[in-house]
């Protein structure tokens, strides 16, 4: 059974990119299947740092096929930018890239809509989207009337689609934007530009659903690279402060077209503390000097938008929920080194709501706003962990912390990460999945 999934269990940026890169060597195919260029996955190879928003993190390993499957919303400009950057940096494996002809394409009107009416929820609160046109493109996909898929760019009807959409979008945007602030979109210019993108991308376009199905049937080893985190899942996350796709484990099959029967392992990625970018409730948030210390030590600034990430203690009520939701077999505890030097550590083990203690993650955002986190205090450690090569090199307090996380979440720990580099990874037990590389 060939399928492994890497899923973020918090609000994104758990260091999924690092783990995907490490696991790529044991796989034949790496697949991005949801989200789009709202993601920012960092991979460090030796001295080189790669920040990938759209291309799968597997692209840095030779001989692996990388797939962007139909569930992704696709910004062709970003894809070409990333391809060019990788080629300029002599990453020569981009030939092995396949783009689904079913992926929905992001157009200039999607960016405009994201700016105009996707920044707020229906009751006026700021979602703080990445402004990458993600929500508007998914809305058009589900709505069907204004959707354009990658395969459409190679058909005669493409010009008509662009004309039809531009006229409608101009009307809607003109009505929403303040007088004098709206520059109507030009259908001919968009058509011409997107034809150029289509030509550049033509060699990569394929029916990836068929490719992945036959690969799975042939026993090929497929790694599914989740984007965002499970708490941002549009159906099961902290709605409406979420992204517009199924970013928990439940999204793998619908985004990729590969049925669950081919998935035999789900790895949950957990930061040793919590971060969140954008709006929405965050019970364990540390809006104080400890939060700032974590932000500084973890360099917690957005990969895509450079926004300071909100920081807080680890919330195991949330992670236990997302781990169950995603069907996680094991977790990787990331950025453990960042917690060095704090006076003490806290882990949220339960919530109190209306005077009652619970370990159930609330389904309504208003209830999540009202919860009071109940913390367990754990001893901290002062040592630098970044040189640790095995569990034996970690101070007892760090081992106890990781152990407690595992107990509270209810799944075993597979890897512990103590720095961004491939070599700063400790495999726990006899994990067959990882051999840390330099
Ligand atoms: P992703 O979106 O889940 O792939 O995560 P990001 O790349 O947005 O953010 C994770 C950040 O942490 C990146 O800058 C990584 O290089 C870095 N990183 C990964 N693992 C570790 C670790 O164990 N320790 C530290 N200090 N940084 C890490
Ligand atoms: P990776 O894959 C962290 C957040 C945005 C915003 C909300 C909706 O790097 O973990 P969107 O643009 O998707 O409509 O924004 O989701 N968000 C992320 N936060 N990491 C990400 O991706 C994110 N992708 C979206 O900040 O709160
Ligand atoms: Mg990220």
| pLDDT one-digit tens code per residue, 89-137 | 988 777 899 999 999 999 999 999 999 876 778 888 889 999 999 999 9
Residues linked to residue 44 through DSSP beta bridges, in sequence order:
49, 421
Q: For the residues 364-373, what does the mean pLDDT come to?
A: 97
Q: Is the CB of 14 under 6 A from ligand 1?
A: yes
How many angstroms separate the alpha carbon of residue 219 from the centre of ligand 3? 30
Please name the helix (run of DSSP H) or strand (run of DSSP E) that holds residue 413, with its range, or none: strand 413-417
Q: Is the CB of 226 under 6 A from ligand 1?
A: no
Least confident of 52-66, 91-105, 154-168, 203-217: 91-105
How many angstroms separate the alpha carbon of residue 189 from the centre of ligand 3? 32
- Residues 1, 254: contact at Cβ < 8 Å? no
| pLDDT one-digit tens code per residue, 245-294 | 999 999 999 999 999 999 999 999 999 999 999 999 999 999 999 999 99
Please name the helix (run of DSSP H) or strand (run of DSSP E) that holds residue 426, with its range, or none: strand 425-427
Residue 378 has phi, psi (to 5 degrees) of -125, 150
Question: What is the average pLDDT value for the chain, to the nearest integer?
Answer: 94
Angstrom distance (rounded) from CA 386 to CA 393: 10
Concatenated DSSP letters for 303-361?
Answer: TTT-PBPEEE-EEHHHHHHHHHHTT-SEEEEE-GGGGTT-S-EEEEEEEEETTEEE-SP
- Residues 264, 22: contact at Cβ < 8 Å? no
Q: Which of 46, 270, 342, 420 to mutate to test the pocket of ligand 1 (most atoms within 8 A of CB)?
A: 420
Q: Is the CB of 113 under 6 A from ligand 2?
A: no
Q: Is the CB of 13 under 6 A from ligand 1?
A: yes
Question: For residue 1, what pLDDT band results from cuts at 50, 70 and 90?
Answer: low
Ligand nearest, relative to CA of residue 113 = 2
How many angstroms separate the alpha carbon of residue 14 from the centre of ligand 1? 6
Q: For the residues 425-438, what does the mean pLDDT come to?
A: 59
Residues with CB under 5 A from ligand 3 (ion): 13, 40, 303
* Active site positions, annotated: 13, 41
Give the residue whose CA is nearest to atom 16 of ligand 1. 420
Long-range contact pairs involving 368-374 (C-beta distance under 8 Å, separation at least 24): 368/238, 368/281, 368/283, 369/281, 371/283, 372/283, 373/283, 373/284, 373/313, 373/315, 373/317, 373/348, 374/348, 374/349, 374/350
How many angstroms separate the alpha carbon of residue 309 from the centre of ligand 2? 11
Q: Where are the beta strands (DSSP E) in 38-91?
A: 41-45, 48-52, 65-68, 73-74
| pLDDT one-digit tens code per residue, 158-169 | 999 999 999 999
- Would you state the structure tokens that stand for residue 390, as one six-digit string? 């095995």
Q: What is the CA radius of gyration of the chain?
A: 22
| pLDDT one-digit tens code per residue, 331-350 | 999 999 999 999 999 999 99
Give the pLDDT of residue 436.
37
Give the pLDDT of residue 125.
85
């Amino acid at each position: 059974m060939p399928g492994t999934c890497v899923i973020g269990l918090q609000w994104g940026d758990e260091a999924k990119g690092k783990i995907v890169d490490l696991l790529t060597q044991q796989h034949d195919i790496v697949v991005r299947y949801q989200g789009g260029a709202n993601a920012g996955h960092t991979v460090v190879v030796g001295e080189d740092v790669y920040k990938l928003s759209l291309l799968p993190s597997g692209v840095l390993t030779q001989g692996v096929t990388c797939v962007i499957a139909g569930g992704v919303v696709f910004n062709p400009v970003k894809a070409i930018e990333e391809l060019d950057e990788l080629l300029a940096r002599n990453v020569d494996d981009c030939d092995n890239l396949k783009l689904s002809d079913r992926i929905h394409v992001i157009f200039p009107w999607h960016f405009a809509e994201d700016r105009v009416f996707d920044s707020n929820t229906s009751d006026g609160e700021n979602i703080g989207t990445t402004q990458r046109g993600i929500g508007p493109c998914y809305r058009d996909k589900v709505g069907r009337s204004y959707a354009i898929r990658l395969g459409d760019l190679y058909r005669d009807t493409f010009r008509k689609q662009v004309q039809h959409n531009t006229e409608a979008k101009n009307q809607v945007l003109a009505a929403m934007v303040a007088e004098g602030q709206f520059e109507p979109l030009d259908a001919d210019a968009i058509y011409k530009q997107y034809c150029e993108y289509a030509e550049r991308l033509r060699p990569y376009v394929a029916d990836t659903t068929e490719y992945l199905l036959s690969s799975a049937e042939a026993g090929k080893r497929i790694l599914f690279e989740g984007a965002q985190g499970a708490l941002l899942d549009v159906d099961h996350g902290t709605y409406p402060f979420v992204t517009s796709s199924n970013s928990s484990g439940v999204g793998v099959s619908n985004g990729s077209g590969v049925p669950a029967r081919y998935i035999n392992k789900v790895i949950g990625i957990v930061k040793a503390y919590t971060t969140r970018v954008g709006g929405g409730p965050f019970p364990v948030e540390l809006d104080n000097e400890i939060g700032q210390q974590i932000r500084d030590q973890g360099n917690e600034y957005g990969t895509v938008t450079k926004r300071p990430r909100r920081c807080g203690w680890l919330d195991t009520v949330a992670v236990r929920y997302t781990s169950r939701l995603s069907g996680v077999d094991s977790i990787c505890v990331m950025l453990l080194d960042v917690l060095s030097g704090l006076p003490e550590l806290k882990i949220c083990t339960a919530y109190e709501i209306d005077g009652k203690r619970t370990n159930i993650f609330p389904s309504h955002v208003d209830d999540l706003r009202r919860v009071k986190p109940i913390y367990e205090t754990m001893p901290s450690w002062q040592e630098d962990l970044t040189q640790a090569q095995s569990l034996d090199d970690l101070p007892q307090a760090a081992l106890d912390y990781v152990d407690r996380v595992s107990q509270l979440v209810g799944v075993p720990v597979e890897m512990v990460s103590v720095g961004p580099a491939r070599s700063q990874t400790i495999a726990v037990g006899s994990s067959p999945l990882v051999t840390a590389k330099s």
